Each structure stands twice: as C-alpha cells, then as structure tokens.
Amino acid sequence: MNLPALLGGEPVRRRPFPAWPVFDAREEQLALEVLRSGQWWRYTLGETLSETHADPTAAPSKVAEFQQKFAAAHGCRYGIACVNGTAALEVALRAMGIGPGDEVIVPPYTFIATATAPMLIGATPVFCDIQLDTFNLDPARLEAAITPRTRAIVPVHFAGLAADLEPILSIAARHSLPVLEDAAHAHGGAWNAQPLGSLGAAATFSFQASKNMTAGEGGIITTNDPALAEHCESLVWVGRKTGRPWYEHHRLGWNYRLTEFQAAILLAQLERLPAQTALRQQNGARLAQLLREIPGIVPLAAPAYATGHAWHIFVFRFLADQFGLSRARFLEALAAEGIPASSGYAHPLYRNPLFAAPGLPLDYSQFVDLCPASEQACAEAVWLEHRLLLGTPEDMDDIAAAIAKIHQHRAALTKD
Ligand SMILES: Cc1ncc(COP(=O)(O)O)c(C=O)c1O
C-alpha cells in the first residue's frame, strides 16, 4: 500500500501545476508597442466618457483602450483604471460622497482593503457576517448592520463566486443605499447571466499579481453611471476635469493613474480571460464533484444565481472532526503529496491589531460574537490557487486522489 508521502511513501504528484501569470508573445508585442512609441503615460483624461483623444498625432492610449474593452466585457459603459484594487475602492466610495462619520458595510472574510478603503477616506467599516456555505455576505444579517449613518454596502464576490445579490440589492434599494461590488476576485464572473461588476452602482477589480488577470499591480472601477464615472476619473487624475485647463483642480484627488505598460499587459490578459475562465469552470466543477465524495471535505456551494463562477480560489471547508485529522496536519500531508494549498485568512478582519487601536468610532471586539460564520470560515477553510484550475482534468483527479489518500491514512498521520 502506498504510504502518505509525509510518512515516506511516493507522492501522488511530482509534476508542477501550471505557473501564474500566463503570458506569451502577445504581452510582449503590446508592451513593446508602448516601449517603442515613447508614449509611456496616458496623456489625456476624458476618454472614459468621450472616447476621443486630445492629440490626434499621439499613439492611441492603451489605458483608454483597456478601460473601454474591460468595461464592455463586464457589461458596463465606463471603466476607470487606477493603480490597484484598494485605490479603486477608495475612489469609488469617495465619488459616492462617502467620508468622515459615514459607515460602510463590509464582510469580515475578505482582504483587508475592503475594510481599509472606507477608513482611508475617513469612514467607518461595519462588519456583516457571511454565509457559511458560500463565504459571501449574508443578506439575512444585513439589515441588522444598517444604522442611520450607513452610506454604502460592499459585498465581495469572494473567490469569484457571485454574492447573493438579489436580497442585497433589494435591501439596499429599500434603504436608498448604493451597492459597490468588490469584484477583486471576479473577473469574467456572472450572476443570473449578467456580468459581475455591472450589478451595483459601481464595482472594483484588482490586477495584483495573484488575480485572474494581472499586470503585477493595477485596478479598475466599472459603472454605468456617467456622473459617477466622471467623478471617479477626476479623483484618479488629481481632481482635474475633462475639458478644463490642465492646472485647474476641482476636487481633492489622487494621482492613481495606471501606466500604458500595465494597460498593454492587461489588454493581452483580457483577450485570454474567456478561455481561461471556461477552463477554470470545467476544472472547478469537476474537482468540487470529486471532493464532495470525501468525508469532511465541503466545497463551497454552487447557488443557481452564480451562473458564472470566476474561480479565483478553489475553496473548501475542512471539517477536522469528520475527516479525522487537524487542518494543519492535513495541509502538511497535502504539500508532501505535491499539492500546494493554504488555510487562507488567519482571522476575520476585525481581529487585526488595526481594529484594536484607540480612538476608533466602534468597538470592533463586538464582531467576534456577531460574526460566527466568519470565525468558523477562518478555522475551516482550505484554499487552492486558481492556477491549479488551469491544468488538465487529470490534474484535478490528482488533487482529489491526494486528499482521498490522506483521508485513508488519517490514523497513521495523526499518530506520527
Ligand atoms: C477582495 C479584495 N478586495 C480588494 C483587494 C485589493 O486589491 P489590490 O491588492 O489591487 O489593492 C484585494 C486584493 O488583494 C482583494 O482580494
């Protein structure tokens, strides 16, 4: 009998999984075009709204082209590119009029930026727990988190799985609150056959290195609201205004512009996104089906409304009691079998030292009791990176075989 690799047996895999990022001659070609044009910086604002260029002799802006194509691919008229997904959240929230004294509802099971973006513009994040079966914002708990100071709701499409938007949007409408989709994980995803990123008042995406499209760093805001788009673009452009003199600054803005090099890389990444998303979907569905057969392994749910999973992360809950092994030991054994995985967020956001600092408008320790599902998610989650889903069906079978093998040998692994 083949022993677990951790106990000296042959690992299920020695071959590596696909590397990330994926790139080829297309990225090279577009990046070289920028290099050789000498036009390394997008030279004029306003393309977001008018799609015109101020200087007809200059090379067309790759940023402008990318904004237009990314927005269109995500069901939106406007895209405003910026330096990263955190900046995108800050800009979108500020353009919605949010500032000091205002509250923004966010889930606690997400990257820190979802909560710090409101703080960076003086607002207060208020945590609303997640659903344990999807790890997304729980609409059943949303209304209780709304106060007279609430100004926006920010659901995250965690791991690329659409948030439960129907009740979220209807609660938001009832309270006249805008919804900002944090779609940092959700490029190319869909909810009820509509693109993620087009369902709230605005949405934000990240192109940081780990994301499903990347230029190392980068971000974008998508919206169908022309006034909001103009405001966001102005904030990214140090408060300038389309059609107004260069040194006239109308708003307190940032220089959050994306470079032409990044846009060139992202144009190539966008071309590849549909095929990669389809492959992740096939492999994700196959792996989830295989893993559901193994005791103690619970892949996240696939609700009917999540018609297009972007599979940024393949997540399953690891129920240690049912599986018969601790999560730490399981991850050690899985790594030894040649399957890279992690336990994800170490704790819900409100447990970060940042939220224990003196002088905050809220006592964040209250959320330990208010967010039991987030606490449980942090204790049980196992994450596989999306690059694993860019492999073959046999690669998925290897992952499942490694987990089944560890389960079979759980007693020996516990003793060792
Ligand atoms: C859910 C979520 N929101 C926002 C961000 C922020 O994006 P960035 O790292 O590009 O600032 C991230 C990324 O890491 C994220 O995972």
Check residue 42 and give its pLDDT: 75
Give CA–CA dist 282/290, Å, rounded. Answer: 13
Tens-digit pLDDT profile for residues 113-160:
999 999 999 999 999 999 999 999 999 999 999 999 999 999 999 999
Fold entry, domain 25-270: Aspartate Aminotransferase; domain 2 (3.40.640)
Check residue 1 and give its pLDDT: 55
Give CA–CA dist 196/191, Å, rounded. Answer: 6
Strands 297-299 and 313-318, by their bridges, are antiparallel
Check residue 41 and give its pLDDT: 87
CA of 415 to the centre of ligand 1 (A): 40
Task: Name all residues whose Cβ lies below 6 A of ligand 1.
Answer: 84-86, 110-111, 113-114, 156, 182, 184-185, 206, 208, 219
Tens-digit pLDDT profile for residues 233-245:
999 999 999 888 8
Burial category of 59 from C-beta neighbours within 10 Å (exposed 0-12, middle 13-18, buried 19 and up) = middle
Domain coordinates of the chain in residue numbers?
A: 25-270, 273-415
Q: Which two tokens stand for residue 26?
A: 């297309």
Strands 194-195 and 190-191, by their bridges, are antiparallel
Q: Which two tokens stand for residue 266?
A: 């992202």
Average pLDDT over residues 258-273: 98
> Is residue 338 classed as helix, strand or coil in its secondary structure?
coil
Q: Which run of H or E residues covers position 106?
A: strand 103-106
Superfamily classification of domain 273-415: Aspartate Aminotransferase, domain 1 (3.90.1150.10)
Could you give the residue numbers annotated as active site? 211
Check residue 56 and give its pLDDT: 63
CA of 194 to the centre of ligand 1 (A): 22
More confident residue, 129 or 60: 129
- Ligand 1 pocket mutation pick from 86, 93, 112, 157 by most atoms within 8 angstroms of CB: 86
CA angle (36 as vertex; 31, 39 as ends), nearest 5: 85
Other beta carbons within 10 angstroms of residue 279's beta carbon come to: 16
Average pLDDT of the chain is 95
The values of phi and psi at residue 54, to 5°, are -70, -35
Give CA–CA dist 118/98, Å, rounded. Answer: 8
In the beta sheet, which residues pair with residue 152?
104
Tens-digit pLDDT profile for residues 104-120:
999 999 999 999 999 99
